[in-house]
Amino acid sequence: MRRGDTAGDAKAHVNGALFVYALLVVLVTWASWTIYWLSNVFMTRPLMDKRGQFRDLTDYAGKMAHLHGGAAALGSGLPVFNYPASAAYVFAFFLRFGSHAVQAYLAFVVLCVCGFAIVAWRASGAGAAGRIGAAAAIATTALLGYPLWFVADRANTEVVVWALSAAGLCFLLRGRYRTAAVLIGLSASVKPFSILFLLLLLCRRKYKEAALGLATTGLVVMAALTAMGPTPWKAYQDLKPGISLYASDYIMNLKPVGEMRFNHSLLDGMKTAAVTVEMGGIYPIQVLEEVTELRLEPGGWHAVRPLVRVYPFVAVLGLGLLFVVFYKMPILNQITALAVAIAIFPPVAGEYTLLHLYLPFAALLVFLTREVAPGRVAFPYASMLALAVIYGLLFSPLTFLMLYAGGAKLLLLLALLVVAARSPMRSEYFDQVPHGVNQ
């Protein structure tokens, strides 16, 4: 919305943008599944092979049966365990339900979805001008949001990481910094990259709270290593082979051809670009055979190794750039930037990491309906539409692009960063403006 636009214009713009988002998710999801059903080409399937459904959880049943003194078994053989030690107890919790482990996991997912929808709806404001568009956006995300369908289909523990970090961010947005720090620390003890959300506390000079978050992560991981025994150091050494095996197969080489379309990290993008250069162009069909052959090189495809060596510098430079650009921006922009960082900076990042964008999307929705639609805050209509389109595509399957779907998601994530950097969301409702920002 431009300054001088009427409240009626703002309401129409907000509702229009949210309906564009909802319609885009519906249409792209429908198109992706239709293309798969009509073509019967497996590489266009929006989910992984049906035979592998829920196996991110069920495959670990044997390894999680006896965690005390079981670090050596957990760190060797298949399936590979490449998580912090404390993540094993998340697996064990669901697997304790025995033959009903999947049902318990799915019940947790449904609980999280319902909680997300209720919190977003209540926060959008009773009688707010943009509530019609908000209802469409919330319902569409809850029912069709692709990251949630993907994580549920795999039964991946990322949903636990998301639930904890999102709850922490909700407390942070309301000024409950200690609770936020503990929840974010707990989430990072399952998968570490959500620790980046603690930077929000550092930007607000909440150093003790940030330290509390770090301490929470360290203590939970140490407690898990101690419980596995016989000593924390021995348990850590026993878990290392699994991490090494994962790194050699997934980081130091191209991903398996059946999984590449679901990955969107910066390193994944660099690998895809290298394959494109190797082939002299984009060839959606031929690339399937090419990737399979390149993976078979002894020690992995040789072109990946220099990319892996330079990647830590790329990641550090990228994080530094994000910090410089977003340090003095409003908190909604900062949350968006860090959620994107969690999705692109891990060496391997699957579709389920896009769950971390649900909270910044919900916060954007609240900002639009409570403040922009009534005309209290000016926000460019072009930015609204750009965000609606980007989020709509990120929350939809793009697997009709086959192996290039992950690259498309990476470009969308980078586009989201650009729009967030150029469109400050100064919110009176969240009332969390970082030091040095002039409202």
Confidence category of residue 417, pLDDT binned at 50, 70, 90: very high
Q: Which two tokens stand for residue 86?
A: 């404390």
Q: Which uninterrupted H or E stretch holds 433?
A: none
Is residue 127 predicted with pLDDT exceeding 80?
Answer: no
154-173 burial code (b ≥16 CB/10 A, e <16) = bbbbbbbbbbbbbbbbbbbb
Q: Give the tens place of pLDDT for each residue, 316-336.
A: 999 999 999 999 999 999 999
- What span, in angstroms and rounded, lies between the C-alpha atoms of 206 and 139? 35
The Cα 388–Cα 399 span in angstroms is: 20
Residue 350: strand pairing partners: 263
Q: What is the mean pLDDT of the chain?
A: 92
Q: How sure is the predictor about 437, in pLDDT bands with cuts at 50, 70 and 90?
A: very low
The tokens describing 280, both together, are 């002299």
Q: Average pLDDT for residues 201-209, to the nearest whole number? A: 94
- What is the predicted pLDDT for the residue at 314? 96
CA quadruple 76, 78, 79, 81: dihedral, nearest 10: 10
> What is the arithmetic mean of pLDDT over 226-247?
91
Domain regions of the chain by residue span = 7-422
pLDDT at 5 over 60: no
pLDDT of residue 7: 58
- Whether pTM exceeds 0.85: yes
Residue 174's contacts (CB-CB under 8 Å, 6 or more residues apart) are none
On the question of pLDDT at 436 being above 70, the answer is no
Burial degree of 434 (CB within 10 A; 0-12, 13-18, 19+): middle
Give the tens place of pLDDT for each residue, 250-287. 999 999 998 999 999 999 999 999 999 999 999 989 99
Contact 339, 360 (CB under 8 A): yes
Cα angle, residue 266 at apex, residues 262 and 271 outer, rounded to 5°: 75
- Is residue 199 very low, low, confident or very high in pLDDT (cuts 50, 70, 90)? very high
- The pLDDT of residue 238 is above 80: yes
Above 50 in pLDDT, residue 12? yes
Query: pLDDT tens across 135-162, in order?
Result: 999 999 999 999 999 999 999 999 999 9
Q: What average pLDDT does range 412-429 have in this prediction? A: 95
Rg (CA), the chain: 22
pLDDT tens per residue, range 45-66: 999 999 889 999 999 999 998 8
pLDDT at 1: 44
Reported confidence tier of residue 70, pLDDT bands at 50, 70, 90: confident
Could you tell me the pLDDT band of residue 225, with boundaries at 50, 70 and 90? very high
- pLDDT for res 431: 61
Task: Calculate mean pLDDT across residues 198-221.
Answer: 96
Segment 297-304 shows an average pLDDT of: 91
Per-residue pLDDT band for 78 (boundaries 50, 70, 90) equals confident
Read off the pLDDT of each residue in 70-91 and give the average, rounded to a whole number: 91
Q: How many CB atoms lie within 10 A of CB 323?
A: 16
Question: What's the longest Cα–Cα distance across the chain?
Answer: 69
Residues in the chain: 439
CA pair distance 129, 132, nearest whole angstrom: 8
Residue 3's pLDDT is what? 45
Long-range contacts of 390-393 (CB under 8 A, 24+ apart): 390/415, 390/416, 390/419, 391/21, 391/357, 391/361, 391/364, 391/416, 392/20, 392/21, 392/22, 392/23, 392/24, 392/25, 392/28, 393/24, 393/28
DSSP assignments along 296-333, one per residue? TSTTS-TTHHHHHHHHHHHHHHHHHHHHHHHTTS-HHH
Using 50, 70 and 90 to split pLDDT, how confident is the model at 430?
Answer: confident
